[in-house]
Structure 1
Amino acid sequence: MPVKIQNISILNKFTNSLKYFSKMFKCFHLKVLSARNTSSSRRCLSVFSQLLMQSSEIELVEKNSKQIEESLIKSLNSTTKKSLLEPLSDSEDISHISTYLKPTYPNFAAYANNSEVLQELIKLDVNLHYIEKKLTEAVPFILKLNFEDIKDHILFLNQLGMKFEDIGQLITKNPFIFKEKLEDLDVRINYLKFKKFDEIMILRIISKNPFWLSYSTQDIDKKLGFFQMNFKLAGHEVRLVATKKPQLITHEQEKVKLNMFVIRDEMGFTIEDMKEMILKTPKLFMSGQQRMLKCFEYLHNEMGISHLQILEEPQILTCRENRLKARHQFLKKLGRDQFDNKKPNFVNLLEMVKNTDGIFAVQVAKSSAEEFNLFLKSM
């Protein structure tokens, strides 16, 4: 119980006692810490606390301080070291402490035989295992659905021209499409039509980017505007980029800006160059910055490839540096590292890196797969 202070006199005594208590505690604190096991320290501190709480008057702290200290030291000296094999006392029991358990979700297997929704999704080749592993929060959502909740969504997508297997892939990646109202989905499709996307473009967009229809028309309009403004694109060029790489439009804009910075400020390309790049290879602006920069440095500094040559084949910047280096070094060993298209024995940059080792060795290096494998082992 806390000490109840009734008047100023007792308050002054309490303050003086606390000052003495602080000095006394510092004196024996080192003795407590020097104990050979933590159990002794805890027992000593426990005795000290009990003695303080038993004092009915504040004055006892000052008068009997010597007795308190002697009791503490006696308790410390009389404490014997416990064996590690001894069971813990009630005060030392830690069985109530448990590790943090992640929330668990039901699995589809237990419901597959009785769930009409799961049976219909299986018919569409929806990868339920993928959803269980990668999209765990979608599992209870799907199990709560009935067939009427999903039937109209499937028909809506099918009427847009999507094949049922493509609908299954869309649901696998974005099962939360069933959260969207059909009226909203219809508005989002009409928005694309209003922006002069034809049916083939729309079909490709929603097939390649399962999350596109989960964005509102306002969000999509802002995202398309971002690319039009930053890359100086005309309307038909925006449609070209969105159709070529629909995932880029909904990609994190901060990452796109970072790639723009790397290409412009660290590689030395211009805004006009970046416009040409995004029209030819839009996925370049979704690539990892370090991988892209290392590839450029090897192309430009080691192989002597100019900015103009890279602009002709910007996809080369998506190649791994190790792959590029190995194949270039092999061509160099054979004396076939010639990348000027105005000279004989010209080697196309993309042809050098895009095919398998066997095709590269025979068709590009004019050698054999065995010789290239031996070269790789020697690197």
Structure 2
Amino acid sequence: MASSCIQLCQRCTSLLRSKTVGVTLQYSTQVQLCTAVFRASTKIPNGSLFTSGNRTTAHTRQRWKQEMCHYSDYNAKRLTAEAKEDKDAEELSGSDVMVYKNPLSQIRDAVPVTESQMTLDLDAVANRSALEEISDEEAVALSVSSALPPASTSLRDYVDKSETLSKLVQLGVNLWKLEQRPNVGSMLLRLDFQADVAPRLLFLKEIGVEDSCLGYILSHNPFILTEDLDKLQARVNYLRSRKFSSESVASMVSRAPYLLNFSVKRLDNRLSFYQQQLGLSAPKTRDIVARLPRLLCGSLEPVKETLKVCKIELGFKENEIQHIVATVPKVLTAQKKKLTQIFDYLHNTMKVPHHLIVKFPQVLNSKFLRIRERHLFLQYLGKAQYDPSQPSYISLDRLVSLPDDVFCTEVASATLDDFNLFQKTL
């Protein structure tokens, strides 16, 4: 029994050696054969293909066919020998002996690797050294999530990952307004909340701005977040030096968000302009600017045009213009077309003299359609009387300032339904 086992082991060893040597010789012979075939197919006799003509081409083609036939016969014999050897190996497998297999057959019979098996375990990669080399497959499988999206058309995609944007939303800032303005979105993303935003918010709080106004200010003027704090403090100090109270400064900044973006020189030029053009005292000029702070932010050309219209086209005197502006500062920013349209209807259609318009200057800031509808309704009722010396006098203030229901009951002595039906006839 022992001798039989020894003979079986010797037979397996010789079989393995012969198979290994045979496989090596087979692959070596195949490489030599393919090289010979390739050289024969590309060899150019006599140094030139054009000089040999069709004879050279025919000769090369015939030799190519012979080599290919020889290779086919050899390949068939090799496959037959491999099949026989595999059969012999299977007969020996019943004796619990490890059998050598062809590496090519192992690759051919291997199960394809699924996508899930090729996925890289990122947790294992995280524990690796930064200097450790990885394969190309592992490098491709790596994916690092970006802190911020690379590009977007809306700031809402960045709110969850940007502390600055999330805090601004909590303050009530309208990001949809800011993202419509060029370069504002990228500017906000570059700002650090603790280093850039928080100090300026604290500054606004220190000068008296209410928490409810912070969102409005930043929604209209996000550039205040990039202003130097020393410059902001210098502009506030200037306004206080011109005897604006702290409450007035806070109110002006809240209603005119761009106020602190302008230099001290520009603010001083604006105040001097209104005082000289209107001929008012410093306290009256300060009162006008405090009530309408955007006068310090806008252009001066429209204001010059409005003053010229009031004086030349509408025929108001200088003291009358001073009274109108001191009572209704918005007249300075009104459009020329609106002023001329309202004045023409009041003076030429309703026959209201200049001094009554100056007495009730708020009529110049009203809607033209409201003045026209109510005057025509009173005229239809026979109550359109605007002369203070006549009975049933109706002041311009009550004509334009009262709500529709109060105007109908107290001025026109009619119902709101009557007024609505009359409006449909216009």
Q: How many equivalent pairs are there?
A: 275
1:105 deviates by: 6.8
User: How is 1:87-98 mapped onto 2 (pairs within 5 angstroms)?
Assistant: none
Which residue matches 2:258? 211
Alignment of 1:178 onto 2:236 = no
1:246 deviates by: 0.6
Conserved? CA contact 1:166–1:207, under 8 Å: yes
Q: What secondary structure sits across from 2:298 in the alignment?
A: coil
Distance, in Å, in 2 between the alignment partners of 1:117 and 1:269 is 52
Which residue matches 2:42? none
Report the CA distance shift for 1:308/1:152 in structure 2 as closer, same or farther (over 3 A).
same
Which residue matches 2:396? 349
Which residue matches 1:238? 285
Distance, in Å, in 1 between the alignment partners of 2:298 and 2:277 is 15
Distance, in Å, in 2 between the alignment partners of 1:179 and 1:344 is 62
User: How is 1:1-379 mapped onto 2 (pairs within 5 angstroms)?
Assistant: 106-133=153-180, 135-147=181-193, 148-379=195-426
Partner AA of 2:166 in structure 1: Q
Please, which moves more after superposition, 309-318 or 215-224?
Answer: 309-318
Q: What secondary structure sits across from 1:113 in the alignment?
A: helix
Distance, in Å, in 1 between the alignment partners of 2:374 and 2:175 is 41
Distance, in Å, in 2 between the alignment partners of 1:324 and 1:105 is 49
1:232 deviates by: 0.6
Q: What secondary structure sits across from 2:159 in the alignment?
A: coil
Report the CA distance shift for 1:140/1:355 in structure 2 as closer, same or farther (over 3 A).
farther
Distance, in Å, in 1 between the alignment partners of 2:302 and 2:293 is 16
1:58-114 CA distances to partner (integer Å, 9 max, x unpaired)?
xxxxxxxxxxxxxxxxxxxxxxxxxxxxxxxxxxxxxxxxxxxxxx97421110101
Conserved? CA contact 1:245–1:282, under 8 Å: yes
Partner AA of 2:184 in structure 1: A
Q: What secondary structure sits across from 2:421 in the alignment?
A: helix
Which residue matches 1:97? none
Distance, in Å, in 1 between the alignment partners of 2:301 and 2:328 is 19
Conserved? CA contact 1:295–1:317, under 8 Å: yes
1:163-222 CA distances to partner (integer Å, 9 max, x unpaired)?
111011111110011121000000000001111111111111111111100000000000
Partner AA of 2:305 in structure 1: L
Question: Unaligned stretches of 5+ in structure 2?
Answer: 1-150
Distance, in Å, in 1 between the alignment partners of 2:296 and 2:392 is 40
Conserved? CA contact 1:105–1:137, under 8 Å: no
Conserved? CA contact 1:106–1:139, under 8 Å: no
Tell me the percent identity.
31
Distance, in Å, in 1 between the alignment partners of 2:310 and 2:293 is 21
Taking structure 1 as the reference length, the TM-score comes to 0.70
Distance, in Å, in 2 between the alignment partners of 1:145 and 1:106 is 18
1:13-51 CA distances to partner (integer Å, 9 max, x unpaired)?
xxxxxxxxxxxxxxxxxxxxxxxxxxxxxxxxxxxxxxx
Conserved? CA contact 1:130–1:172, under 8 Å: yes
1:293-321 CA distances to partner (integer Å, 9 max, x unpaired)?
01000000111111111111112112232
Partner AA of 2:232 in structure 1: L
Distance, in Å, in 2 between the alignment partners of 1:142 and 1:360 is 49
Distance, in Å, in 2 between the alignment partners of 1:363 and 1:127 is 42
Distance, in Å, in 2 between the alignment partners of 1:131 and 1:365 is 47
Taking structure 2 as the reference length, the TM-score comes to 0.62
Distance, in Å, in 2 between the alignment partners of 1:198 and 1:140 is 37
1:342 deviates by: 4.0
Which residue matches 2:135? none
1:271 deviates by: 1.7
1:251-276 CA distances to partner (integer Å, 9 max, x unpaired)?
22110111111110000012221111
Report the CA distance shift for 1:144/1:279 in structure 2 as closer, same or farther (over 3 A).
same
RMSD: 1.5
Which residue matches 1:11? none
Conserved? CA contact 2:209–2:251, under 8 Å: no
| Bigger Cα Rg | 2
Partner AA of 1:142 in structure 2: L
Question: Unaligned stretches of 5+ in structure 1?
Answer: 1-103
Conserved? CA contact 2:303–2:333, under 8 Å: yes
Partner AA of 1:119 in structure 2: S
Conserved? CA contact 2:196–2:226, under 8 Å: no
Conserved? CA contact 1:244–1:282, under 8 Å: yes
Asked which structure has the greater RCO (Cα within 8 Å, sep 6+), the reply is 1
